[in-house]
Amino acid sequence: MMLTLTDVYKSRCDNEAAIILRQDPVVYQGWKEVGPADLSQHQLARYAQKGFIVLKQLFSPEEVGRMLREVERLAHDPKLEGYDEVIAEPGGGEVRSVFMVHRLSPVLDRLARDIRLVNIARQILGSEVYIHQSRANRKPGFKGKEFYWHSDFETWHVEDGMPRMRAVSCSILLTDNDEHNGPLMIIPGSHMHYIRCVGETPGEHYKYSLRKQEYGVPDEASLRFLVDRGGIESMKAPAGSVVFFDCNAMHGSNSNITPRPRSNLFFVYNSVENTLGAPLHGLAPRPEFVATRSDFSPIEPVTPETVKSSA
Amino acid sequence: MMLTLTDVYKSRCDNEAAIILRQDPVVYQGWKEVGPADLSQHQLARYAQKGFIVLKQLFSPEEVGRMLREVERLAHDPKLEGYDEVIAEPGGGEVRSVFMVHRLSPVLDRLARDIRLVNIARQILGSEVYIHQSRANRKPGFKGKEFYWHSDFETWHVEDGMPRMRAVSCSILLTDNDEHNGPLMIIPGSHMHYIRCVGETPGEHYKYSLRKQEYGVPDEASLRFLVDRGGIESMKAPAGSVVFFDCNAMHGSNSNITPRPRSNLFFVYNSVENTLGAPLHGLAPRPEFVATRSDFSPIEPVTPETVKSSA
């Protein structure tokens, strides 16, 4: 699909914010294949309405233990020191995020292709899917910083040239998330509105934005509008739970001064019918580790032994 | 009472943190006078156990409206610009706190002496009381910063020479506090342990600590110990509610990226039998606006007309 001059989702073009009605479906029709953890029609309808769904304890404690150990291994792997994929907290020190974990780790590659996750993404997006981005987020105890409100799609559209709203984020909770340790907050219904942000985007913005967002920041009036309509919901759930949320859902999180870290894995599934074009405003494409361009071929899902045996 | 070399609550003396058992009662016996909003024996027992109590909507929406307008007036009063009492957010800009509000404002002076509050403080402390400190806290929406864990008593003991744990903080919620907008978090039961902090206190520390705490910071192992025992509770309650919490209760709050500000008023009642001595470590006394020294005489409570008529 071409981006044209009449792009409805243009953003960061001038000094005026705007609220644009979503022009795309939330749940796309047409996916027929059945998976072991599929959403019911009722769940799909709620996802369409709220822009997210929480699936409690989709993964067993043993599975979560393996994921967590693998993330910690990556975060402390001396071989990865200095890699672009490894992002430190503002001010340096602790590793905040590791990108492209499905390419850095065979264990997490298998997880990203787990049929339980992939088929839900295909149900929602109505097509085959591929991984647009993956990462592990480690919000440490005592000093985890807030992450301000944003729509991922706004960034992906402007900086990565993702044409339409046909991607879904999948967050796997690796630690218990409660009201105190800075859980993911989503504004229900916000995915139905696109907040056009003010200002321009400097070149190589991604180098800074992965630490601290300064461009593509929604204005306060628009955020008030969204919260007045939909309120705020925190994704409070035990480790092993999975949150699927729409690429345009407005989300953020507060800081975490509790002793309990808040770690999660994050896979972005994009429809193979929604692959990346050129970024807006003549920006150079961001590097592969934040936005896959080298391979848009459909994921081949895997069915773990435990899922097979319980089927 | 003299501070001696055997001070059990000494802190910031060396490089070792320590956890000391509380040596003082939480609820002191002996106060007989009856007030219109007194705590029941059951409530006092729960306060003694947890170190805090939330009284929902003790004040009417009209009363809260008056308080909020008065706080906003003070925060924007050009006459107070440059006053020590007025503390800006780190980085400047918004007014974060206004100290000594009961001396700057006749409206808030009456509130600090409101019989509903004063008699609860006297019930808890078992004696007449005076105001050790007062302030208005304004945690703005979108950008309110976290406030790290601390025991007020640790600071008051070290920096103000408050001899024993016989003071109670009273926080009046001026806006709705929910799980999302950075509510006060308290570790239940933490008031029974005194966390001795490491390090020294530089002179004029208060000038910085009111913005951002760097000394008198509890260590992570002790915080883990307290949270493992007591968990964490957020003071979620509608505007007009009042939280009384023990001077040694470990508390803090996360940031607030929601559009909803979190404002409160804060009065510290100290027992007239617990008046300030010399600060520890030869520190100079902090100024009057953070620690009253000029007048330890008991508060004369006032009974508002609305309370009289409903009695």
pTM: 0.90
Q: Distance (Å, rounded) from C-alpha B108 to C-alpha B70?
A: 8
Spell out where B25-177 has E strands. 52-55, 86-88, 95-99, 129-139, 147-150, 167-173
The two tokens of residue B114 are 């409101």
pLDDT over 50 (residue A216): yes
Strands B262-271 and B167-173: antiparallel
Contacts with B221 from chain A: Cβ below 8 Å: none
Angle, alpha carbons A76-A82-A85 (nearest 5°): 80
The two tokens of residue A80 are 């990865």
The two tokens of residue B222 are 């002790």
pLDDT of A2: 46
Q: Distance (Å, rounded) from C-alpha B164 to C-alpha B177?
A: 31
pLDDT of A1: 44
The set of residues, in sequence order, having a beta carbon less than 8 Å from that of B200 and lying 6+ positions away, is: B12, B215, B281
Query: Smallest Cα–Cα separation from A279: which of A93, A127, A154, A170?
Result: A154
Handedness of CA B97, B101, B107, B111 (dihedral sign): positive
Q: How far is CA B174 from the centre of its chain?
A: 15
Residue range A32-85, pLDDT digits in tens:
999 999 999 999 999 999 999 999 999 999 999 999 999 999 999 999 888 889
The set of residues, in sequence order, having a beta carbon less than 8 Å from that of A288 and lying 6+ positions away, is: A100, A294
Q: Distance (Å, rounded) from C-alpha B183 to C-alpha B175?
A: 10
Contacts with A254 from chain B: Cβ below 8 Å: 146, 180, 182, 254-257
Q: Distance (Å, rounded) from C-alpha B266 to C-alpha B7?
A: 28
Domains in chain A, CATH or no CATH each = 18-309 (2.60.120.620)
Tell me, what's the ipTM?
A: 0.87
Contact B259 A180 (CB under 8 A): no
pLDDT of B139: 83
Helix (H/G/I), strand (E/B), else coil: B41 = helix
- What count of residues does chain B have? 311
- Contact in structure between A222 and A19 (CB atoms under 8 Å): yes
Q: What burial class does residue A7 get, using C-beta atoms within 10 Å of its C-beta: 0-12 exposed, 13-18 middle, 19+ buried?
A: middle
Q: What burial class does residue A273 get, using C-beta atoms within 10 Å of its C-beta: 0-12 exposed, 13-18 middle, 19+ buried?
A: middle
Query: Smallest Cα–Cα separation from A198: which of A254, A139, A158, A244?
Result: A158
- Contact in structure between A131 and A295 (CB atoms under 8 Å): no
Contact A146 B224 (CB under 8 A): no
Contact B254 A254 (CB under 8 A): yes
Angle, alpha carbons A165-A168-A172 (nearest 5°): 160
Contact A255 B259 (CB under 8 A): no
Q: Nearest-CA residue of chain B relative to A235?
A: B180
Residue type, A265: L
Query: Smallest Cα–Cα separation from A17: which of A218, A183, A172?
Result: A218
pLDDT of A264: 94
First to last CA, chain A: 39
Q: Distance (Å, rounded) from C-alpha A92 to C-alpha B194?
A: 32
Adjacent-strand bridge partners of B137: B97, B264
pLDDT of B91: 66
Q: Distance (Å, rounded) from C-alpha B45 to C-alpha B50?
A: 9
> Residues in chain A whose beta carbon is closer than 8 A to a beta carbon of chain B?
141-142, 145-146, 148-149, 179-180, 182, 185, 220, 223-224, 227, 232, 234, 252-260
Q: Distance (Å, rounded) from C-alpha B7 to C-alpha B5?
A: 5
What does the pLDDT profile of chain B (311 residues) look like in tens digits? 444 557 889 888 877 788 999 999 999 999 999 999 999 999 999 999 999 999 999 999 999 999 999 999 999 999 988 888 998 876 667 788 999 999 999 999 999 999 999 999 999 999 999 999 999 998 889 988 899 999 999 999 999 999 999 999 999 999 999 999 999 999 999 999 999 988 766 666 666 555 455 678 899 999 999 999 999 999 999 999 999 999 999 999 999 999 999 999 999 999 999 999 999 989 999 999 999 999 999 999 999 987 877 65
Contacts with A90 from chain B: Cβ below 8 Å: none
Q: Nearest-CA residue of chain A relative to B147?
A: A257
Q: Nearest-CA residue of chain A relative to B178?
A: A179
Strands B86-88 and B95-99: antiparallel
Residue range A65-78, pLDDT digits in tens:
999 999 999 999 99
